[in-house]
Amino acid sequence: MPLPKNKYWMIALVMALLLSLLAYLLLRVTPATHSEPEAVPVAPKSEAQTPPPKPSRPSLQRILFAGDSMMQGIAPIVMRQLKASHPEWLLRNESQQSTGLSIKRQLDWVQKIKAEIVEHKLTTVAVFLGPNDPWDIYEKKQVIRFPSPEWEARYSERVAEICEFAKEKKVHLIWIGLPTMKEARAHRGATVQNPIFRNNMEKYGFDFISTEALIGRLDQPYIRFMTDPEGKKINLRADDGIHFSPQGLQRIAAALLKSIDPPLDN
């Protein structure tokens, strides 16, 4: 006996519900056929990594040693040591005796240093001069007497001109100060010149090397000998009371070398 049509409809609905329930249950118990992508390890940020050590010395230097007979004694010592450790560096010793910043007749150091910086693309200039300078400055038929405030101002202008050009060309400038002098005029000059050298180096951010602790203070009487840590007397000066003995030269050269080529652990 055939079933009523509404019975077929009810059976179909029940079957559909059962199939849906079965499919749902199968999805709950069957593991997914696809896998989640593996997590990619994230590299630590560069800030967290140990930065590479910064080089303590430039790869290449082009250095000028400028000055009078004071630098003529120092430059060969420093150059010899630099050539041994940095044979690729350009080292120029242009120091000349009987020169300075006051008298330009023999050599105009301001223009000479500028020309050297441009021609040789210098990275460093070291200057050591002074005993020839405590004299009147003759300029455009004008006499600027030493000592006087006008002399100090004009002398400082010449030092500043070198500083300004070096700063413009990104050149490292090192200026060595003067120690006590036996001769009265040279000693008086050093007391005027050292503040000019030091103030300009501080103003322009350059290096000033004081030699007073190494050789002799300007505010104390002239001395030729110093006592080393072992209690031995060391002769630091030449007979003229201006220049230096080999031991004195070594002391100043060591200070200049440290400024040019600092130790690796600094």
Identity of the amino acid at 40? V
User: How far apart, in whole angstroms, are the C-alpha atoms of residue 108 and residue 130?
Assistant: 14
Checking if the pLDDT of 36 tops 50, the result is no
Report cis status (omega within 30 of 0) of the bond before 147.
Answer: yes
The answer as to whether 80 is a domain residue is: yes
Q: Say if 265 falls within a structural domain.
A: no
Read off the tokens for 121: 């693309």
For position 253, what pLDDT does the model report? Answer: 98
Assess whether pLDDT exceeds 90 at residue 258: yes
What does the pLDDT average to over 159-166? 98
Does residue 236 lie in a domain region? yes
pLDDT of amino acid 59: 75
Contact of 178 with 194, CB cutoff 8 Å: yes
Number of domains the chain is built from: 1
Q: What distance, in Å, lies between the first and last C-alpha atoms of the chain? A: 109
Q: What is the mean pLDDT of the chain?
A: 86
What one-character DSSP code corresponds to residue 227? E
CATH label of the domain that carries residue 115: 3.40.50.1110
Assign 105 a pLDDT band (cuts: 50, 70, 90).
confident
Contact 93, 76 (CB under 8 A): yes
Does 155 fall in a domain? Answer: yes
User: Is pLDDT above 90 for 13?
Assistant: no
**DSSP calls for 127-167:** EE--TT-SS-EEETTEEE-SSSHHHHHHHHHHHHHHHHHHH
42 pLDDT higher than 90: no
Question: Which residues span the domain enclosing 122?
Answer: 62-260
Question: Confidence band (pLDDT; 50, 70, 90) for 32?
Answer: very low
Residue 237 lies in a domain: yes
What number is the average pLDDT over the span 212-231?
93
Residues 6 or more apart whose CB falls under 8 angstroms from that of 210 comprise 177, 194, 198
Q: In degrees rounded to 5, what are phi and psi of residue 265?
A: -85, 5
32 domain residue, yes or no: no
* Residue 41 within a domain: no
CA distances from 124 to 32, 91, 117, 148, 264 (A): 72, 10, 9, 32, 19
According to the model, what pLDDT value does residue 93 have? Answer: 98
Residue 8 counted as domain residue? no
Answer whether residue 150 shows pLDDT above 50.
yes
C-alpha 125/C-alpha 74 separation (Å) is 14
- Number of residues written out for the chain: 266
Q: Are 100 and 133 in contact (CB under 8 A)?
A: yes
Rounded mean pLDDT of 6-20? 60
What is the C-alpha to C-alpha distance for residues 137 and 165, in angstroms, rounded to an integer?
Answer: 22
**Pick from 266, 256, 251: which is nearest to 213 by CA?**
251
Residue, of 25 and 123, whose pLDDT is higher: 123
